[in-house]
Each structure stands twice: as C-alpha cells, then as structure tokens.
Structure 1
Amino acid sequence: MTGRDAPCRDPRPEADGARRCGGLGPALGVAAAERHAVTGIGIMGKEIRMRLARALSSSARDRSQSGALRSYGPVSAAVVTAAALGSVAIDPSDPWYRSLRKPPWQPPPAAFGFVWTPLYISIAAAGGRTLQRAPAGERAPWGSALAVNLALNAAFGWSFFKARTPYAGLAVTAATALSSWDLVRRSARIDRGAAAALVPYALWCTFATALNADIARRNR
C-alpha cells in the first residue's frame, strides 16, 4: 500500500489538515461547524418557543393591565433571548469573514448594532401589543409565527459565521425576510399600529437578504 493509498488515522485539526486524507481536513471541519450550527439553532428555537408559550398562556388567562404585562414581558424576554443567542455567533473580526469579497454598499460593521437595537425594541413592543389585543383564536397562530421568526433571526450568525457558508446565511436571511413580512400581514388583521412598527424590521431583513445574496455571488 503506497502512502497515497494509506487510510487517514490522524483526526487532529492542525493547519496541515488540507494535506492529510486527500484534502478531507477542511471538509471535516466544515461538517463539524455545520453540526454545531444546527445544534445551536435547535436550542435557540426551543428556548424562544418556551418564552412565547408562557406569553400565550398568560395572555389567554388575563387581558387586563396585568395581562398586558404578562404579554409584553415574556415577548420581550423572547426577543432578548433571540438577540443574545444570535449575537454570540457573529464575529466581524473573524479572518474568514474578513477574507470574503463584499459589495461597496455594505454598511460598516458598527452600523448594524445601531440598526438592530431599535428594531428589536419595535419587535418586542409590536409583539406584546399584538398578543394583548388578539382574539383568542389568533393568539396561538401569531405567537407561533413570531417564534419561527425569532428562531430564524437568531440562526443567521450560526449559519453564516459558524458554518462559514454564505449560501446558508442567504437561505436564513431570505426565510427571515419572508417570515417578517408574514408577521406584518398577520399583525395588520389585529392591530395596524403593531403592523406598522414591524415594517422597518421587514425592510431591513429584505435589505440583509440582498446583501447576503451579493456576498454569496461574489464568493462562489
């Protein structure tokens, strides 16, 4: 058996992994990153669903002023959870990310924090208002739609930065944009003010989809 035919027995992730196993080192690294990303997304989705389930049950029991607090509180907690879990995976200083070719119209990294802070506040406010004013039959479907949206929102960093796949990031941002516009549509049937508060979020997700599509195209 020649050296080229010998089986690979060294799984260590050193920098020369690209030369071992016929170049399988990087592929194994990407596969591991994707597994970690999927696991992270699953944990995020479960946590967000638990937060919103609490809001739905509380709102159903009491629609008074204390009921409003029970709606806004858990929804805000779910939004904060999604923001925190998603931000953990995002690292603009990552050498891999810095090596990507990006369009000249991409905002500087610092701009994203300034944009997302008011957007998350608007999601929490619109979500609490909608759940508080929704008829009994509308609460569960709307809460489920919000849970899906927040899980997708939090999943972007894991699918793009952790898995290091621009096309996976594009798929997540596109799904988040569609989900955001669906939330606007659902909210408009319950409270137009809440729907209007969600429009900037949906617009930003649409912009993010266009940005990720351009990055994916430039780095094929």
Structure 2
Amino acid sequence: MTPAQVTAAPLVPGHAKSWVVLAIYLLATAAASITGSFASNPDTSSWYQALNQPPFQPPSWAFGVVWPILYLLMAYAGWRADTAAPQANKSGLRLRYSAQLLLNAAWTIAFFALQSIIGGLIVILALLVSIIIWMLAARQYDRLAAWLFAPYVAWVTFATLLNGSYVLLN
C-alpha cells in the first residue's frame, strides 16, 4: 500500500458494529492491565523495595497516572487501525496487537510475580519490538493510530532502561 492510499478512521465509532469493535479493544487492553496489576504491587513488595533502584526511578504514583492514559490510547489506536484496515488485513493487525498486549502483561508477571529482573528485561525487549511492529503495520492503514502508540513506545523504552538498570545494579 502506498502512502497515498492510507485512509483514516473516523474519530468516533459511527455504527453499532464499530462500537462493538472499540469495546473489544478496550476490554482486551483492560484485561492486560488487570493481569499486570494482580502481578505487582511495588509499594508493598519487600522484594522490590530491597532492590537497588536507579536514581531516575519515578515515584510509584507516576505509574498509576501514566498507565491508564497509555492503555486508553492503545485501545483507541487499535480500534482506529482496525477500522481503517481492509478486511483481509484485520486478522494480522489484531494478532500483532494481541502479541504486544500479552507481552505487556507478561513483563509484569516476569518482573514482579516471578521476581526475575533478567526475565523482565528479556520480555520488555520483546515487548518493545512488538510495539514497533504493530506501529509499522498500523501506519499502513491509519497514521494517527500509529502515532497514538508513540507515548507507549516512549514509556516502554524508558521502562526498558529502568529494567536494564535494575539488572546492572542488582
């Protein structure tokens, strides 16, 4: 598909089926978020508190502010790209979206629940790659959808640096 053929999704769903697709993206993204929240509680985890933390570690409340915004942007971006993609390309786009969601939840499980900072680093590197892959695929159908993932890729890049710092410091 050439750049001139890129179409844009509407800003909001226009019909019932489109609302259902948006709801599915919101629910799937919320499921990843909830899975992650069950796997971690850094404020009360004695293991996490005992780790040597990098000097640029944000306060724990920052994660509670940033992640809900990122999850909403992710779901909206997923819906936009899905809406703009031709029917024949939807399954591949959905598979890529699902892969990054699974890795998103898997990082929290690896890092916090399994208390593996090296395992977390491996997962977050795969997550970062999967986010970029989804962005490149989505860009073919809706550029705004791809750009809506930019804060997510920035935050995960920062989180990758944090995770790498934990590996080096511990």
- Indicate the residue corresponding to 1:77 in structure 2: 27
Q: Does 1:104 align with 2:55?
A: yes
Q: Does 1:142 align with 2:93?
A: yes
For 1:162 and 1:125, how far apart are their aligned partners in 2?
Answer: 29
Residue 67 of structure 1 and its aligned partner are, at CA, apart by 2.0
Q: Quick one: which amino acid aligns to residue 164 of structure 1?
A: Q
Q: Unaligned regions of 5+ residues in structure 2, if any?
A: 1-12
Counterpart among 128, 133, 149 of residue 182 in structure 1:
133
For 2:99 and 2:76, how far apart are their aligned partners in 1?
Answer: 17
- Indicate the residue corresponding to 2:123 in structure 1: 172
- Indicate the residue corresponding to 2:154 in structure 1: 203
Q: Quick one: which amino acid aligns to residue 119 of structure 1?
A: L
Residue 64 of structure 1 and its aligned partner are, at CA, apart by 6.5
For 1:162 and 1:84, how far apart are their aligned partners in 2?
Answer: 14
For 1:76 and 1:129, how far apart are their aligned partners in 2?
Answer: 12
Counterpart among 39, 45, 55 of residue 94 in structure 1:
45
What SS does the corresponding residue of 1:155 show, helix, strand or coil? Answer: helix
Q: Contact 1:67–1:132 at 8 Å: present in 2 too? A: no
For 1:157 and 1:200, how far apart are their aligned partners in 2?
Answer: 19
- Indicate the residue corresponding to 2:102 in structure 1: 151
User: What do the CA deviations read for 1:67-90 (whole angstroms, capped 9, x no partner)?
Assistant: 211210111110011100111011
For 2:14 and 2:151, how far apart are their aligned partners in 1?
Answer: 29
- Indicate the residue corresponding to 2:7 in structure 1: none
Alignment of 1:206-217 (within 5 A): 206-217=157-168
Q: Quick one: which amino acid aligns to residue 82 of structure 1?
A: A
Q: Unaligned regions of 5+ residues in structure 1, if any?
A: 1-62
> Which fold has the larger relative contact order, with Cα–Cα distance below 8 Å and residues 6 or more apart in sequence?
2
For 1:123 and 1:203, how far apart are their aligned partners in 2?
Answer: 13
When the two chains are superposed, the root-mean-square deviation of aligned CA atoms in Å is 1.2
TM-score by length of 1: 0.69
For 2:103 and 2:117, how far apart are their aligned partners in 1?
Answer: 15
- Indicate the residue corresponding to 2:69 in structure 1: 118
Q: Percent identity?
A: 34
TM-score by length of 2: 0.89
| Structure exhibiting the larger radius of gyration computed from Cα positions | 1
Q: Contact 1:102–1:218 at 8 Å: present in 2 too? A: yes
Aligned length: 157
For 1:73 and 1:165, how far apart are their aligned partners in 2?
Answer: 33
What SS does the corresponding residue of 1:103 show, helix, strand or coil? Answer: coil
